[in-house]
Structure 1
Amino acid sequence: MDAFELLVSVWSTDAVLLKLLLGSIFGLCLGLTGVGGGVLLIPMLQLFCGMSPVLAVGTASMISAMVKVNASFLHIRARNVSWKKIILLFIGAVPVTLLVTQVVVYFNAHPFYSEATETTIAWLVTIVMIGSLISVFSKYKSENVAISHHSEHKLNTKKAIVSGMFCGSILGSTGVGGGVLLLPILNSVLHVDIKKAIGSSVVLALFLSAIAAVGYASGGQSDIDTAILFFVGSFVGVPVAAHLMKHMSESHIYVVTMLVISVSLFSYIIL
């Protein structure tokens, strides 16, 4: 497919303007809170685009990877990235993400296990979203009790790698992993301050989402046209988020993050 055919295919996609709008909302939330991939996209894709759970996960992974290129650049330029901890998480996450993605695609394609696979993925997404909301809320409460001095904590290499493996398994199977998993782990477990945790989660999720996207696309579980429309729409939201973040305190960012996760969780439950 050449560039012209791709453009025609994208423009002929159903609900073009709606998908562009949803993409801009996604970009705003991603840039502002680090939350976006599975938490926002999967409910959007299932609720507004009528996708099955596995197709939504595959498409969400593709959109996340595309959008996070722009968001990652903005966070790197703003120096909101903790590179040492990203590398350790990356080492643990990559092989697990590759393995889990292929397992999900295989069982979803199997006539006998297809329905059970989609049900399992839906439950996993819900559980991860609830756990992440609790984690962010707990950290928010602790930040209001006392100021946390993250720099005093020594980097635990083993803990970082194991945390990466855990994130890889969840992201590979559910598409959820950026803001709702990597953000709490970087902030609460590895003691990175909230702004750097957000930037670091976006950069790391870029690579992991790309790996998952390739795996799902190879199994036919992704909608490229929809992904492109969401990506284009995100160019409106991400720069606005970067501007707003400069004027927000850590407390405000926690509140917005919890609000985004809560709304997404509610939307997913009512699907």
Structure 2
Amino acid sequence: MADVLTHMFTNFMSQTDSKKDLSVTPPAPAERSVLIVGEQNLGRSILLLAAVTAACQMSIRVVFFAQTQIQSLPVSLQKRVPSVSPESLKKIQFCYAKTLEELLQQVAGLHESTSTFPISPSLIIVDRLEDFLCGPAGDIHMGHHPGEQSCAAHLSALLCDTATFLSGLLEQQTSSPAPCRVIASYKPKEPSGESSGVSDQLLDAFDRYFQVRCTLDKDGSYKAAAAGLKEVWHVYFSGTGITLDPCTTDTEDRPGSAQEWELLMYPDGLMEFQLV
């Protein structure tokens, strides 16, 4: 699993889990891309938490792409980190693109970012991929790459190629370089009629480029109400980018290797993560 999400989950761990002696396992160099699949607003909150965690605690430059303007940070972040350093937040560059073409141009433009920033970004975030793949009325965006699958593959390939290119620049720019990562969110369509199965095809296209899938699944039991919570979400990790030590069966001491977490959402907006 990508180290940025691991670091964030550990940082926002529930009080019960935070008392444990946990150490984050460094990721393998090839583990660079994560696709967060699930509810839109929750996905954006996780992306923003990841961006602020990367900038403020890991001291890396972040580029955050979105179609709609972000007005404020998540309540959870405001409560847990009330005094975020303005200088740290300057490491996050928010870029807004209305169409797929604009997004492709802006991502491709990161190759030239060295003329503006002395250090290349180490994290590329794209919020709500589905917004770029569909037009305002929900129609399939055709553009220069007909069909949603072609658009998804073209965008994913560009993101991964750009991350690889920036990783090479980071090796030249820093004394202790780390690979450039990509984290994006995507909400599949609800299957209906003849369109059933389209979402799975798009996820198949994404999976060819994103090495780890992070699936958000809402708990439908009475667990949240019984614990006085607003919601409980299961967070599952899968994909070729997950590296587990075959000799290790106890993941409790290795959150970097854990494949399942729970996200606890409180009535006041606070979010906490715990190992499962």
> TM-score, normalized by length of structure 1?
0.30
Which one scores higher on RCO, CA 8 angstroms, separation ≥ 6?
A: 1
Structure (1 or 2) with the larger CA radius of gyration: 2
